[in-house]
Amino acid sequence: MFQRPIYLDCHATTPMDKRVLSAMLPYFTEYFGNPSSLHQYGWEAETAVQQGREIIANAINATPEEIVFTSGATEANNLAIKGVAEAYFSQGKHIITVATEHRAVLDPCEYLQTLGFEITYLPVNSEGLIDLEKLETAIRPDTILVSVMAANNEIGVLQPLKEIGEICHQHQVLFHTDAAQAIAKIPLDVQEMSLDLMSLTAHKVYGPKGIGALYVRRRNPRVKLAPQLHGGGQEKNRRSGTLYTPQIVGFAKAVEIGINNMAKENQYILQLREKLWSILQQLEGISLNGHPTKRLSGNLNVSVEGIDGAALLLGLKSIVAVSSGSACSSTKIAPSHVLTALGRAEKLAYASLRFGIGRFNTVAEIETVGQAVLSTVKSFRQKAVLG
């Protein structure tokens, strides 16, 4: 029987938890109504949607009315950034973000630049963290939004959201975070962190693809948002389109499972990561990318001197599924913008591997992968010496 490679690419996507699928199935066939319909079928679907909204809101200490369902975090980021820009442009056209953000934040910002907005791209230090003093200095009277990712999709680094939120609210500037990689993996509290907008997605937390959400603060301050999709007026006119009930049910179930098991799961995954790192450190010229402790428990991003990352991926393809950078830009032959922002030399940026460890991985799998990387790198280096 064909043996599939071990999956260690959970920052690209996670396998759906079977408990999530079980929760979703009845809403495809039995409770299939449109949540907008005013009859029993619609009410059944609307009840499920509302329950899902409550679960997701509770997970981040928000209210159900503050949750806007979207097709994923990319749409949520676009709705947050472009929606705020359009709603507040009379107050200012300056936005602050970070050089290491996902393209789903950087590209909308670059688009807004073509419309006359000014974007400040904050640098990060060698471990991927922003400088809070540089953030505060960058805020101007015409700054309307600060967007800083909660957990980086490549290096797993966790930014200090609470401190950033305090600075933003002191200056009466809206604060948005892309928390696609963070939901149900680290504690998120929109009140404690002074967050005004937060982008979420299901498929990074063992839920279905094609569903996400945007948290939009209703009070202190009430955030205005210009809709980017117009049509049926769903989601209080903030995002039109028939709500995808099975996906919402699955999203909520995935978040619920993650929240209920967060501490125990993080401890287990961290042990796997430390096991893999201890094996890989036997290699000469290997270095860790990102902060050693302020990172997602399942993230391990390393560079190996003298090794091409793409070639190493090919050498390992029958053993393990990993990434050499952001999955969303993997078709582009260019060094990771995240690693170059950390100050990594271009050769080291090309020589990176990103391991995304998840709840279904085992110690045996980690040991197999670690030994495979060791032998493959040593083989490459021997060929280079002989070649």
In tens, the pLDDT along 75-93 reads: 999 999 999 999 999 999 9
Q: 10, 109, 168, 328: which one is catalytic?
A: 328
User: pTM, whole model, 2 decimals?
Assistant: 0.95
Residues 6+ apart with CB under 8 A from 19: 253, 257
From CA 169, how far away is CA 136, in angstroms rounded?
A: 11
Residue 351: per-residue pLDDT: 85
Fold of 18-260: Aspartate Aminotransferase; domain 2 (3.40.640)
Q: Average pLDDT in the 312-337 region?
A: 77
Q: Label the pairing between strands 320-321 and 6-7.
A: parallel
In tens, the pLDDT along 49-61 reads: 999 999 999 999 9
Q: Determine whether 10 is an active site residue.
A: no
Residue 382: per-residue pLDDT: 84
Residues 6+ apart with CB under 8 A from 108: 77, 78, 81, 82
From CA 162, how far away is CA 279, in angstroms rounded?
A: 35
Where, residue-wise, is CATH 3.40.640.10 in the chain?
18-260
Residue 386 has pLDDT above 80, yes or no: no
Q: Average pLDDT in the 272-301 region?
A: 97
Q: Average pLDDT in the 198-226 region?
A: 97
| 88 alpha carbon, distance to own chain's centre | 26
From CA 161, how far away is CA 149, in angstroms rounded?
A: 9
Residue 387 has pLDDT above 70, yes or no: no
Residue 275 has pLDDT above 50, yes or no: yes
Residue 384 has pLDDT above 80, yes or no: no
Where, residue-wise, is CATH 3.90.1150.10 in the chain?
6-15+262-386
| Confidence band of 358 (pLDDT split at 50, 70, 90) | very high
Residue 330 has pLDDT above 80, yes or no: no
List the one residue out of 355, 358, 336 whose CA is nearest residue 128. Answer: 336
Residue 79: per-residue pLDDT: 98
Main-chain phi, psi angles of 321, to 5 degrees: -100, 110
Q: Which has more pLDDT, 387 or 169? A: 169
Q: What is the mean pLDDT of the chain?
A: 94
Q: Average pLDDT in the 19-31 region?
A: 97
Main-chain phi, psi angles of 329, to 5 degrees: -125, 25
| Confidence band of 327 (pLDDT split at 50, 70, 90) | very low
Residue 332: per-residue pLDDT: 55
The CATH number corresponding to 6-15+262-386 among 3.80.30.20, 1.10.260.30, 3.90.1150.10, 3.40.30.10 equals 3.90.1150.10
In tens, the pLDDT along 213-223 reads: 999 999 999 99
In tens, the pLDDT along 334-343 reads: 788 999 999 9
From CA 383, how far away is CA 110, in angstroms rounded?
A: 43
From CA 94, how far away is CA 117, in angstroms rounded?
A: 6
Residue 326: per-residue pLDDT: 43
Residue 136 has pLDDT above 80, yes or no: yes
